[in-house]
Chain A
Amino acid sequence: MTPTGHYGIYGGQYVAETLMPALQELTAVFEASRTDPAFLAEFHGLLRDYVGRESPLYLARRLTEHCGGARVYLKREDLNHTGAHKINNTLGQGLLARRMQKPRLIAETGAGMHGVATATVAALLGLRCEVFMGCEDIERQAPNVQRMQALGATVTPVSSGTATLKDAMNEALRNWVATVRDTFYVIGTVAGPHPYPAMVRFFQAVIGEEARRQILEKEGRLPDAVIACVGGGSNAMGLFAGFIDDPAVGLIGVEAGGYGLATGKHAASICAGSVGILHGNKTYLLQDDQGQIRNTHSVSAGLDYPGVGPEHAYLHDCGRATYCTIDDREAIAAFDLLCRTEGIIPALESAHALAEAIRRAPTMRPDQILVVNLSGRGDKDMDNVTKARAALAGKQGAA
């Protein structure tokens, strides 16, 4: 990454002038904090005592047996406080907000996990909090709306555009433009204008750092590949960060295939998109030939986003990471399988990464190792899984 936040041709700061001074201030505070022992001590102290880190690296024996091939380890981000990896990042940004004396946090959310994690940190640090959420997602992820409200946050429904994550991000940006003097925008993934992609990666890198140490302790060797789902790409970038300098370790990002790439109803920005500029950065986008952003679909609200973090775009182009897709049906099958073989209910987002491991493991030898980022738990998804099963059955019936 260059000091201006460019990853090759990707990244950058494509925002309205009104926000530029705030981004520059944030960059300066982040740069000073990332090497400040006092800041890091507080961050890591809270990760331990409040979030409950480190999160276990768990050998999924029955899943491994079921697949019959590579040993599958799960990085248990689902066991974090609030139930996903999102809290690593919101804690870091919350501490920065306090440093910058911004009394108010805003966030966009899709699945609601980032919204909950932001509301949680706001309560912890005594800050006000407003979360923007698409109307469609409010319906899909109702339990998380109640959690945010219980934590004292205001949840503002967004009905513009497609009423999903991208529109929530538009609305959060609009709000930030008007409130930038006293408000800190907590972006939930490695996208957005610089310094967000680098900053979110920095706070999520704890996932990969732990996983690397843990696998060396347990197996005495590095994994053959690490696998994570990619919405904006923060849990993936956090895991990849621990292994990116180990060229023998494959980095695999899994995008949402929705109803299948051929249907056009998916959220696979890298696998089926083209380069463009949205939400402050240049990256792969799902857009039409006029540069209008396309509607996306995924059974998982957290992956239902038409862009992807710029570093992923870069890692894809230079070949260091590989990106593939898992469709709704495969994700639900993986969800079911993990529930029954391991007694773990995964988030539908994470089920995409699992499904790719389930696809690959049987093609690998038993002495080979896969590490899957179990980015979140699936309690929020129980309703969705039931509905999606019915929808898929309907589609099959119609076909």
Chain B
Amino acid sequence: MNRIDAAFKACRRDRRKALVAFLTAGDPDLDATAEIVPALAAAGADIIELGVPFSDPMADGPTIQESSQRALATGTTLDGILDCVRRLRRQTQVPVVLFSYYNVIFRHGLDRLTAEAAAAGVDGLLLVDVPLEELDEVRPSCRQAGLPLIRLVAPTTPPERIERICRDAEGFVYCITVTGVTGARAALPADLEAELARARAASPVPVVAGFGIASPEMARTVAAHADGVVVGSALVKCLAGPGGRAERIAAGAAFIASLAEALRPTGGNA
């Protein structure tokens, strides 16, 4: 069984919802990433999404834009990120999904990247700007490498299209919770439940919800209708907070622990 499936299976066994943690690889540098990931896994992150920094992150709000800029400023490259995953694999078996804009992957070479990523210990690939219509371009390389291609559903996606996207989904499905770019929000839209229900009905794999989730309370509310939640900008903010490296990592881990706690069956009531 691959690491993503195993992670969801463990969650089901423990009757808790999966916690997916997004961070930008290389923010502020890759040595930090190599330290942060095991700390987040130990604090209760079930899956790690490693964002590949891009100069023009069109789907991201200010938090992740700035994070990407910091990562690029310290010379983060795709080769460096794969090296970092190889290092991580000596310490942790937490599933790692590469989360990227297509251009960085395309420029590296799709066949080369998928093969190298799978060999390095990456468990899935998510391309934010490759919708269903362009998926055929990337699918063969991912198949060849045995790398699940994670699909996205949005609040604007019509029901029939949700079904087409989810039908042959692999790994997990990522339901975007807000009509907008990434970034922590104070509240989530009311029609989220219907989107999640449709995706779960259509998908052979678990469905997680993300974008905007900023607190244990929000995580718990959303998790009631999904198999897991993704936390991104709020974590990235935490990891870029005040103090030195050790303090920032501790803050990120504490935040993850608070979310993980909220996702347990007795979450928040215990």
Contact = CB atoms under 8 A, between A and B. Distances in A.
A24 B134 CA distance: 14
B267 interface: no
Contacts of B153: 17
B154 A18 contact: yes
Given A181-B156, A290-B107, A291-B78, 5 more contacts: A4-B133, A17-B156, A18-B157, A174-B61, A276-B107
Contacts of B60: 174
Contacts of A279: 56, 58
Contacts of A173: 58
Contacts of B57: 170
B180 interface: yes
B22 to A, nearest CB: 15
Contacts of B196: none
A161 B55 contact: yes
A279 B56 CA distance: 9
Nearest to B57: A170
A289 B157 contact: no
Contacts of A17: 131-132, 152-154, 156-157, 165, 176
Contact of A277 (B103, B108, B154): B103
Contacts of B104: 290-292
B217 interface: no
A50 to B, nearest CB: 33
Contacts of A292: 54-55, 72, 104
Contacts of B106: 275-277, 291
B129 A16 contact: yes
B59 A174 contact: yes
Contact of B131 (A15, A290, A293): A15
A178 B134 contact: no
A276 B107 CA distance: 7
A161 B62 CA distance: 11
B161 interface: yes
Contacts of B161: 20-21
A277 B129 contact: yes
A275 B137 CA distance: 15
B131 A13 contact: yes
B156 A18 contact: yes
Contacts of A178: 179-181
A73 B56 CA distance: 40
B56 A278 contact: yes
B111 to A, nearest CB: 15
Interface string A171-189: 0011001101100000000
Interface in A260-304: 274-280, 285, 287, 289-293
Contacts of B102: 14, 277
Contact of A291 (B59, B107, B154, B180): B107
A301 to B, nearest CB: 18
Interface centre among A17, A181, A293 (most CB of B within 10 A): A17
Contacts of A277: 101-103, 106, 129
Nearest to A294: B55
Contacts of B152: 16-17
A280 B179 contact: no
Chain B interface main SS type:
loop
Contacts of B157: 17-18, 20-21
A140 interface: no
A277 B155 CA distance: 25
Interface residues of B, number: 40
A44 B104 CA distance: 43
B268 interface: no
A371 to B, nearest CB: 35
Q: Would you list the 9 A-B pairs with minimal beta carbon distance, nearest first?
A: A291-B107, A178-B180, A18-B154, A291-B104, A292-B55, A17-B154, A17-B152, A277-B103, A293-B55
A346 interface: no
B33 interface: no
Nearest to A6: B134
A178 B212 CA distance: 13
A276 B61 CA distance: 23
B77 A14 contact: no
A88 B65 CA distance: 34
Contact of A177 (B59, B72, B132): B59
B179 A14 contact: no
Contacts of A22: 156
Nearest to A162: B55
A54 B144 CA distance: 56
B132 A18 contact: no
Interface centre among A13, A161, A181, A292 (most CB of B within 10 A): A292
A79 B106 CA distance: 43
A395 B104 CA distance: 35
B182 to A, nearest CB: 10
Interface in B134-185: 134, 152-158, 161, 165, 176, 179-181
A174 B181 contact: yes
Contacts of B72: 292
B56 A166 contact: yes
Contact of B56 (A18, A19, A21, A161): A161
B118 interface: no
B107 to A, nearest CB: 3
Interface centre among A160, A174, A181, A293 (most CB of B within 10 A): A174
A105 B220 CA distance: 37
A12 interface: yes
B32 interface: no
Nearest to A293: B55
A170 B77 contact: no
A276 B104 CA distance: 9
Nearest to A16: B59
Contacts of A161: 55-56
A198 to B, nearest CB: 15
29 contacts: A14-B129, A14-B131, A15-B129, A17-B165, A17-B176, A18-B180, A19-B156, A21-B154, A21-B157, A22-B156, A167-B56, A174-B58, A174-B181, A177-B59, A177-B180, A177-B181, A181-B156, A277-B102, A277-B106, A277-B129, A278-B103, A279-B56, A289-B107, A290-B104, A290-B107, A291-B54, A291-B108, A292-B55, A292-B104
